Amino acid sequence: MPILKSLGVADPKVPRAGTLPLRSSQNPFEEVSGLEEEEAGELGTLPNGTSCRRRATLEKLAGLAPFRLGWAPGRRAGSPGDGQPRSFLGRVLPPGIRRSSADFGLLARLQGTRAHGDQETAGEAARRLAFLRLGRGPKPRRVSLAERVVPAGEAAPEPPPKVPEPPKMKEPLSGESGILGLIQQRELARADEHILELEAEELASSGGAPGPPKAEGAAGGRRARDVALLYEALQRELWALVRETLAGPGPGAGAGAGAVAQLGQVLVQEEAADGRRGPGAARKLRARWAEAVARAARERLEAAAPGAPGGLAGQLEALRARLLEDMAVVRGRLAPAYPAGLGAFGVYLRGYHCALAEWLGTSARRRLPLADRYALLHWHNQVYPREVLGLVDMVALENGELGPLLSPGTLRGLEDECVTDVKAQTRAALLRVLQEDEECWGSTEEQPSSLAQDVCELLEEHTERAPRISQEFGERMAHCCLGGLAEFLQSFQQRVERFHENPGVRELPPDTYISRTIALVNCGPPLRALAERLARVGPPESEPAREASASALDRVTRLCHRVLADLLFQELQPHFNKLMRRKWLSSPEALDGIVGTLGAQALALRRMQDEPYQALVAELHRRTLVEYVRPLLRGRLRCGSARTRGRMARRLREDAAQLQRLFRRLESQASWLDAVVPHLAEVLQLEDTPSIQVEVGVLVRDYPDIRRKHVAALLDIRGLRNTAARQEILAVARDLELSEGGALSPPRDHAFFADIPVPRPSFCLSFPLFLGRLPISRLARPNLACLPWPRPPSPARPRAQR
C-alpha cells in the first residue's frame, strides 16, 4: 500500500499475513513512551514473540466486526469469489480496478460496523493493534462507533453542550496527598506537624535558609510550592472552623472542644516554628487567627442587625443579644478549649469590639433622625458598657481596656446635631402649642387648659434622656431647653397682658373670665419648677435664662392676682363704705357682708395651684385689712370721750378676731397682719402717754412703713389735743424713722401703711376762733381749733407704689 512506503523495513523473521511490524526509530506516528504506559498491560505479544505495541489492525481502525481483506492470491478484492462470504469492502464497493490504499480512505469515512461478524480471538486483535495506530493516530478519546450508528440519509446529532466544570483547586503532588487528606478530615494538628516536617526537608534541600519558591521544574521549588499550598488548605480549614464554632450548631460546633483544641495546638506549633524561621519568614498564624475571629464576628453582627424591627434602636438591641449570646459561647465552650497562653477570650472580645466599632461608625456617618441619634448615643455610653462589657471578665484582656467604640470627635458631632435639632424642634413646637391655647382664651366654652403639661412634656423628653447618656451632654441639653423655655415664657407673658388689656374680655361672663385667669395662673408652678430644675442641671451660664423665666412668670402671676383681687373688691366695696360709722359701732352688718363675700369667692379660688393660691390669699388678706383701716385713719369717725374710745376699740378687736378666723380658714400665711388692728385699738383705748408711746413703738417696729402722719391721724381720731403729749408720742415715731433712715423699704407683699393715704397733718392755733383778743396764757384750752398744716408738694411716686 502506498501510504506505508516510507514507514521502514519489515522484519524478515515475521510472517507477512495481515501484520506490519515496524521499527520504532522510523515510525512517524509513534507517541512518547510515557503516554502509552497504561496500555502495556492490555497488549500481548505476537506468536513469534515480537511485541505488538506498535501494530494496528484494520478492524480497530474502522471500528468494525472481524475484518478480512477479502482477496486471495491471484484474485482482486471485491471480485466474485468461490462462494465464501465476501468482506465488508467487497460488498459496499462496486467492482472495478482501484488502488489498495483507497481502502484506508474509505475506512476513515465509515462510522458504522457490521451487525454480524466472525468472532476473533484476542491474539488476532492484538496482531492488528500496530496497524490500528497507523490509521487512527493516538489513543481514541471518543466512544465506540457501534454505539453511535447513524442511519443512512440522516444527519449526525449535535453533541450535547459542554457543562463548564468548576475550577479545580490546585492540589499538592501525590507525595503530599496524605497531608491534604488529614486537613480535610480536620486532623489539623497532625497535618500541621507533617507540613512542618516537609518544610524542614525543603529548607534542608535549599541550603537551610528559607527563601522564595524555586523556578518551575526544580525539585526544591516544587516542594516549596507544595508546602505553600498545604498551608493555604490548612488555613482555610482553620478559619472555617472559627466561623462554624461561632455560628452555633454545625460541623464546627458538632466537633466539640476537640476541634477547637486542635486549632489552638496548631497556633502554638506555628508560633514556635515562627521563632525558628526568623522575623522575615514568620507566617504569623496567630495574628491571622485574630483577623479571622474579627471577620467571623463582623459576619455575625451584620447578619443579626438588618432583620431587626424598630429602626436603629431595634438593630442595636439585636446586636446586644447577639453579643451576649456569642460571648456566652466563647466563655463557656471555646475559650476553655484553647491553650491558656493564647488569651482566646480576649482575642474574641477584641474581635467583636472592633467589628462593633466599625458597624457603629458606619451608622454614625449616615444622616440619622433625632430618635436614632439618641438611641446610638445611649447604647454607646450606657448599654454597651453596662450590659455587655459589665458581664464579661475584663481581667481576661491582656492589653488593658478596650478602646472606644466611637472617637470623641464623632461623639461630639452627634451631640451637637442633637442639640441643634432639639433647639429648632422645641421652639417651633412651643410656639405652636401657645398659639393653639391662646385661641381658646376668649371662648365662652369651658375648656381645660393643658398648656403647662404640653410644654413640660416637650422639654422633659429631651432633658430626661440626655443625662442618661452622659452628664456633660445632659448639661448642654438642659442649657438649650432652658433658653427655649425663657423665650417661650416671655412670649407667654406678652400674650397674657394683651388678653387682659383687651376690652372684649370684659364681655365674658364673670365666672368664665375668672376661670381663664385661674388657668393662666396655674401654668406658673410647673413651668417655674421646670426652669429651676433645668438651671440646677445646666452649667453656671444658665442663670440668666432662669432669672428671665422667673421674672416672666412673676409678672404673669401678679397681673392675674391683681385682676382677680380687683374683681373681688369691686364686689366688697359697698361693704367697706359702711365701716367706721355710727351704725358700725352697734351693728356687725358691714363686716358680716365682707366675710360672707370673701368666703363665697374663696371656693372658686380653690381651683388654683397651691403656690399661687397662697400668694393670692395673702394679698387678699393684706388688701382687706388695708381697706378696713383706711376709713379709720381718714377720720371718718372721731372719739370725743373715753366711752366712745372704749366702744370703738372693742369693735375693732371683735372685727380683727373675725377676720383672723376667716383668713385662717382660707389658709392664709400672712400672720403678720393679725396684730395690726389690735395695736391700733390699744392706741385708741390707752389713757397714759407712756403706754401709748410703747404701743406706737411696737407698731413702728412691726410695720416699718408706718409714718408720723399715720400716728398723728390716729391721735386725732383718739381726740388727743395735748401738744406736749402729742409731741412725746410722735417723737417715738420720729426717732425710729431716723434710726432706720438708711434701711430698705419693706417688700411689696409686706407693705401695709404705705398703701393708706391720710389727710394733711393738723396743727393747733393758739388763738380761739370766737374771741379775737385774749391773753396768751388763756389760749391753751381744749376748745381751741386745730387747723391742718399745708401739705408740701411730694414727688410723684411710681405707679406700682401707689
What does the pLDDT look like over 267-299, one tens digit per residue? 888 888 877 776 766 778 888 999 999 999 999
Confidence of residue 24 (pLDDT cuts 50, 70, 90): very low
Between residues 422 and 72, the one the model is more confident about: 422
Cell of 86: 465476501
**Residues with Cβ < 8 Å from 114, sequence gap 6 or more?**
64, 65, 88
Residue-level pLDDT at 783: 43
Cell of 608: 388654683
**Residues with Cβ < 8 Å from 260, sequence gap 6 or more?**
241, 245, 252, 333, 334, 337, 338
- Round the average pLDDT of the chain to a whole number and report it: 75
Confidence of residue 416 (pLDDT cuts 50, 70, 90): very high
Q: Is the pTM of this model over 0.85?
A: no
Residue 269 CB burial class (10 angstroms; 0-12, 13-18, ≥19):
middle
Spatial separation of the C-alpha atoms in residues 377 and 374, rounded to whole Å: 5
Least confidently predicted of 143-152, 257-266, 489-498, 667-676 = 143-152
pLDDT tens sequence across 686-714: 988 999 999 998 998 889 888 888 999 98
Q: Report the pLDDT averaged over residues 32-53.
A: 47
Domains of the chain: 1-70+101-140 (no CATH), 174-369+376-396 (no CATH), 409-557 (1.10.357.50), 577-762 (1.10.357)
Confidence of residue 521 (pLDDT cuts 50, 70, 90): very high
**Residues with Cβ < 8 Å from 472, sequence gap 6 or more?**
none
Interaxial angle between packed helices 451-469 and 471-501, expressed in degrees from 0 to 180 and rounded to the nearest 10: 170
pLDDT tens sequence across 357-410: 999 999 999 889 999 999 999 999 999 888 888 766 555 555 556 788 999 999
Spatial separation of the C-alpha atoms in residues 475 and 481, rounded to whole Å: 10
Q: Report the pLDDT averaged over residues 214-223.
A: 51
Backbone angles phi and psi of 362, in degrees to 5: -65, -40
Spatial separation of the C-alpha atoms in residues 332 and 348, rounded to whole Å: 13
Confidence of residue 199 (pLDDT cuts 50, 70, 90): confident
pLDDT at position 564 over 90 = yes
DSSP labels, 41-96: TT--B-TTS-B-TT-B-HHHHHT-SS------TTS-TTS--SSSPPPHHHHHSPSS
Between residues 303 and 745, the one the model is more confident about: 303
Give which of 317, 318, 389 is closest to 353, Cα–Cα.
389
Residue-level pLDDT at 343: 85
Residue-level pLDDT at 429: 95
CA dihedral in degrees (706, 712, 713, 717; nearest 10)? 130
Contact 77, 90 (CB under 8 A): yes
Residue-level pLDDT at 10: 44
